[in-house]
Structure 1
């Protein structure tokens, strides 16, 4: 290495004058680097005993490799020293105080990291942001917490995947035996529809005939009762006979009334009986009228769908009557 100022490249870079640089060709100075989504780590690179040396954090690393990743991030010696002592970086939120002896279980380790970040972030949010540095820290904190969420999502997927695969295998194994018998069962019921519907028609005719017979018997009973009441025009024996006749006719009418009660058409036996049932569904023949009625009812489902479709249209640049375009700026 030349005996010229070994710090020249780094000193110029601190002033914003980054000189020529090449991979694997380090320059002496202080820098910082980080893995994607990770914390900044201080890096020192120096030439000593005819060789390049480098320290990343508290561990020695290959100088050429370290240079390739830190060369565009020079820092002052004071910033480097502060970071080495664990005080973090002025333009970064403080690192969570969780130490290095994290649990081996990824869930427990990430939980500790999140709790530490959350505690510091909530304390930070108790005062309003008034400076650019504070805004920068908030943005970085937001990114760090989002990274924790992504890690949790990825780890959750990894841990759950074997269960999902096993669940799919079991689903595939049983799917046919679950669905096909049920489908054949439904087909058998549809196969019975015509027969049961015909039986229902016959039953309706039987009920109607029984009702007509009931009405006839009640009329005759009423007539017999009327005759029994005309005591001055008949003997006692005739009157008693008329009363008995009226009573018999009332009994027969009651029997016919019971016979007229509905009997649902069915097939099978107890535990395996199939009968006609009434299934209610809607057939919309005027969508505009139906939609208007549902809106007037303030039906929550239709209102949610309208909100969803309106948002989609507005975001696509369309305009809709009765819909207002709202713009608000939020940190993202």
Structure 2
């Protein structure tokens, strides 16, 4: 192999540049037409249509080149994903099964802890009221009354600490989720219409977009046809 032949022989031409090179003159001519001025004569229209066909061929060749270049990568991506998927899915099944196994007990335990917290807070509130009442009744000159009030206050503080501790005793692996159920579609629709008109408008616009060809006689909907270039 001579020196000239060896230069760049390991670097084949880039397919994008190769395809673009085939249509470069048409691309430049097409850009000359795109100066913001519309077509005004039939001859101009024919010239633009011819360029449009060339640009379409350019685009199709680019898309074919893209598909050819990316197909092996995409196939490898899919194959590797498929190789991992069964094991991942099995791990998910096992994880979900374990969650299901403990769900009922965790809910029961959480309810018990919530009730214990409620009782502890109720007891703390009761003792705090008693301490406040004892302090209000105690004569500053009566040492025994003052001692009793102080003892009641101390018990109230202990009860408050116990209630706070109970409030922190949570069951791990439980979360609060918000669920919903539509009990009356008509009532909910009326509520949305009164309070969220944008949502109703968005729904109507989307419905018209999806159904305007099959339900052209719907009240409040106008459907027509017109010609446009493509």
Place the TM-score, normalised by the shorter chain, in its bin. Answer: 0.7 to 0.9
What is the aligned counterpart of 1:121 among 30, 38, 53? Answer: 30
CA 1:214–1:138 in structure 2 vs 1: closer, same or farther (change >3 Å)? Answer: same
Written as runs of structure 1 = structure 2, the 5 A alignment for 1:135-150 is 135-150=45-60
- The alpha-carbon deviation at position 286 of structure 1 amounts to 3.6
- The alpha-carbon deviation at position 158 of structure 1 amounts to 1.0
Tell me whether 1:241 sits opposite 2:151 in the alignment. no
Tell me whether 1:331 sits opposite 2:203 in the alignment. no
- The alpha-carbon deviation at position 297 of structure 1 amounts to 4.5
Work out the CA distance in 1 between the residues paired with 2:58 and 2:126. 85
Question: Which one has the bigger helix percentage?
Answer: 2
Any gaps of 5 or more consecutive residues in structure 2? Answer: 1-11
CA 1:296–1:227 in structure 2 vs 1: closer, same or farther (change >3 Å)? Answer: closer
Written as runs of structure 1 = structure 2, the 5 A alignment for 1:1-20 is none
- The alpha-carbon deviation at position 163 of structure 1 amounts to 0.7
What is the aligned counterpart of 2:198 among 298, 303, 307? Answer: 298
What is the aligned counterpart of 2:160 among 257, 263, 269? Answer: 257
Question: Which one has the bigger strand percentage?
Answer: 1
CA 1:153–1:288 in structure 2 vs 1: closer, same or farther (change >3 Å)? Answer: farther
Cα RMSD (Å) of the superposition? 2.7
Cα deviation digits, residues 106-139 of structure 1 (max 9, x gap): 2112233455433211212434323222211211
TM-score for the superposition, normalised by structure 1: 0.57
Is 1:196–1:265's contact at 8 Å kept on the other side of the alignment? no
Tell me whether 1:110 sits opposite 2:19 in the alignment. yes
Query: Which structure's relative contact order is higher, taking Cα pairs within 8 Å and 6+ residues apart?
Result: 2
Residue 91 of structure 1 is matched in structure 2 by none
Residue 68 of structure 2 is matched in structure 1 by 158
Work out the CA distance in 2 between the residues paired with 1:256 and 1:173. 58
Work out the CA distance in 2 between the residues paired with 1:157 and 1:251. 79
Residue 90 of structure 2 is matched in structure 1 by 180
Secondary structure of 1:316's match? Answer: coil
Secondary structure of 1:275's match? Answer: coil
Is 1:265–1:275's contact at 8 Å kept on the other side of the alignment? no
Residue 100 of structure 1 is matched in structure 2 by none
TM-score for the superposition, normalised by structure 2: 0.79
- The alpha-carbon deviation at position 177 of structure 1 amounts to 1.8
Any gaps of 5 or more consecutive residues in structure 1? Answer: 1-102, 267-273
